[in-house]
Homo-oligomer: A and B are copies of this chain.
Amino acid sequence: MLPFDILEYQRRIHLTKIKMEEKGIDVLLISDPANMNYLTGYDAWSFYVHQMVAIIIDEPQPIWLGRYQDASGAKAKTWIYDENVIAYPDYYVHSETHHPMDFIGEILTQIGQGRRSIGLEMDHYYFTAKAFDRLKKALPNATFKDGDLLVNNVRLIKSDQEIDYMKKAAMIADQAMFHGVESIRAGVRECDTAAKIYYHMVSGTDEFGGDYPSIVPLLPSGKNTGIPHLTWTDRKFDEGDSVIVELAGCYKRYHVPLARTVSIGAPSPNLERLAPIVVEGVNEVLEAAKPGLTCGELEEVWRKSIGRYGIEKEARLGYSVGLGYPPDWGEHTASIRKGDATVLQPNMTFHLIPALWFENYGIEISETLRITDQGCETFTKYPRELTVKHPFIIHQHGGEIS
In the complex, chain B residues whose CB is within 8 Å of the CB of A76: 224, 227
Is A314 an interface residue, CB under 8 A from the partner? yes
Q: Are B129 and A120 in contact (CB under 8 A)?
A: yes
From B46, B128, B209, A122 is in contact (CB under 8 Å) with: B128
A309 contacts B by Cβ under 8 Å:
no
B94 near A330: Cβ-Cβ < 8 Å: yes
- Counting contact residues on chain A (CB < 8 A from B), the size range is 35 or more
Most buried by B among A69, A192, A196: A69
Bound-state Cα–Cα, A25 to B127, Å: 24
Give which listed residue, B43, B218, B326, contacts A326 with CB less than 8 A.
B326
A73 touches B198 (CB 8 A): no
Establish whether residues B231 and A45, one from each chain, have CB atoms under 8 Å apart when the complex forms: yes
Nearest chain B residue, comparing its CB with the CB of A326: B326
Q: Which residues of B contact A126 (CB under 8 A)?
A: 125
Give A228-249 as 1s and 0s: 1 = Cβ < 8 Å from B's Cβ atoms.
Answer: 1111111000000000000000
Give the docked Cα–Cα distance between A233 and B90 (Å): 27
Write the nearest CB–CB distance from A201 to chain B, whole angstroms.
8
Q: How far is the CA of A43 from the CA of B232 in the complex (A)?
A: 11
CB-CB under 8 A from A357, the residues of chain B are 69, 72
Contact of A229 among B73, B215, B232, B333 (CB under 8 A): B73
Asked if A64 is at the interface of the complex by the 8 Å CB criterion, the answer is: no
Contacts of A146 in B (CB 8 A): 130
Residues of A38-90 contacting chain B, CB below 8 A: 43-48, 68-70, 72-73, 76-77, 89-90
Contact in complex: A94, B128 (CB < 8 Å): no
Q: Does A93 contact B (CB under 8 A)?
A: yes
The answer to whether A148 and B130 touch (CB under 8 A), given A69-B314, A195-B198, is yes
| A265 located at the interface, meaning its Cβ lies under 8 Å from any Cβ of chain B in the complex | no
Which of A191, A333, A335 has the most chain B CB atoms closer than 10 A to its own CB? A191
Q: Which of A44, A48, A89 has the most chain B CB atoms inside 10 A of its CB?
A: A48
Shortest distance in angstroms between A54's beta carbon and chain B's nearest beta carbon? 16
Alpha-carbon distance between A132 and B212 when the two chains are bound, in angstroms: 31
Asked whether any CB of chain B lies closer than 8 Å to the CB of A332, the reply is: yes
Contacts of A130 in B (CB 8 A): 122-123, 146, 148
- A-B contacts, 17 of them at CB < 8 A, read A43-B230, A44-B229, A45-B327, A68-B314, A69-B315, A73-B227, A73-B228, A90-B315, A93-B316, A94-B319, A123-B130, A123-B131, A125-B126, A128-B128, A189-B209, A192-B209, A209-B234
Knowing that A48-B328, A123-B130, A129-B131 are A-B contacts, what are 17 other residue pairs whose CB atoms are under 8 Å apart, sorted by A's residue number?
Answer: A43-B231, A45-B215, A45-B327, A72-B226, A72-B357, A73-B229, A94-B335, A120-B129, A122-B128, A125-B125, A130-B146, A132-B132, A189-B203, A191-B203, A191-B204, A195-B202, A209-B233
